[in-house]
Structure 1
Amino acid sequence: MLVTGSSAAAREAAIAHAIVLSTPGNDGAAVILEGISNGIPVLEASSKLLMSRIAPGCLCCAGNLVMRVTLNRLLRQGPARLFIGVADTAHLDQLRSWLSKPPYDQLLALAPDLHS
């Protein structure tokens, strides 16, 4: 699920809420957050929550390689849910398209975007 919002804190809060609602039982979740939290982070990595932060920048253009490497590492661990917090929505359609093509089309079922 791609998560957008006005601030890193708002995106993290929306993801935290969605994890509580959508991750059943002991299934784990993975989160890729673009940028650094504003102040105290809402989410913290645990045995049930895999987290990665990547530098802000367009995830489908300048950050493509970093995004692919980070995504591949997380997907190898088999999370039940994946949330990607996106700081800039300018290329959201391109990012969604990129995630819908091989090899990710076989690994991901994209849900509607979550706007915080």
Structure 2
Amino acid sequence: MVTGPRAAVREAAIAAALANMAAAQSAAQSAVILEGLADANSPLISSPETGLNVQRIAPGCLCCAGNLVLRVTLNRLLRRPPAQLFISLANAEHVDQLRSMLQQAPYGDLLDLDTDLQAQA
């Protein structure tokens, strides 16, 4: 999960992590779930050539109001599980509850949660 003060900062941190991952190993299929509206200057663009799948979810707490939308998006993505999945949160207030949900069935068997990526301004 990726937290940070603004969408642009979170997206830049994800792009940097993906670039580091690609430099360290062969570029594998990756997915990103972004909470919030699209930014015209986003470095994250879905592309079959790069293997990046970017999904956007309307703003709203993914633990509370956006939970159903997050689950539907996750279920679709996990039909063909990506090697790497980033979930960018507009508000990190409920990150522990979201992490707990992702550790329960069915997601607990499909996802290995890493440490959170803290995007810095």
Tell me, yes or no, whether TM beats 0.5. yes
Tell me whether 1:31 sits opposite 2:25 in the alignment: no
Aligned to 1:21: 20
Pick from 91, 95, 102 the counterpart of residue 92 of structure 1: 95
**In the alignment, which residue of structure 1 is the partner of 2:118?**
115
Which SS does the other structure have where 2:34 is aligned?
Answer: strand
- How far 1:22 sits from its partner (Å)? 2.5
Q: Superposition pairs for residues 1-116 of structure 1, below 5 Å?
A: 2-23=1-22, 24-47=25-48, 48-116=51-119
Query: Structure 1 length normalisation: TM-score?
Result: 0.94
Moved over 4 A (4+): none
Structure 2, unaligned stretches of length 5 or more? Answer: none
SS at match of 1:59: coil
CA deviation map 1:5-25 (0-9, x unaligned): 111100100000111122531
Q: CA deviation at 1:39?
A: 4.0
Question: By how many angstroms is 1:88 displaced?
Answer: 0.2
Tell me the alpha carbon deviations over residues 37-94 of structure 1, each in whole angstroms, 9 at most, x when there is no partner.
4441211001100110001111011101100000111111221000000000110000
TM-score w.r.t. structure 2 length?
A: 0.90
Point out the structure with the larger helix share.
2
Contact 1:9–1:37 (CA<8 Å) still a contact in 2? no
Percent identity between the two aligned chains: 56
The count of residues paired between Structure 1 and Structure 2 equals 115
C-alpha distance in structure 1 between counterparts of 2:47 and 2:118, whole Å: 25
RMSD of aligned C-alpha atoms?
Answer: 1.1
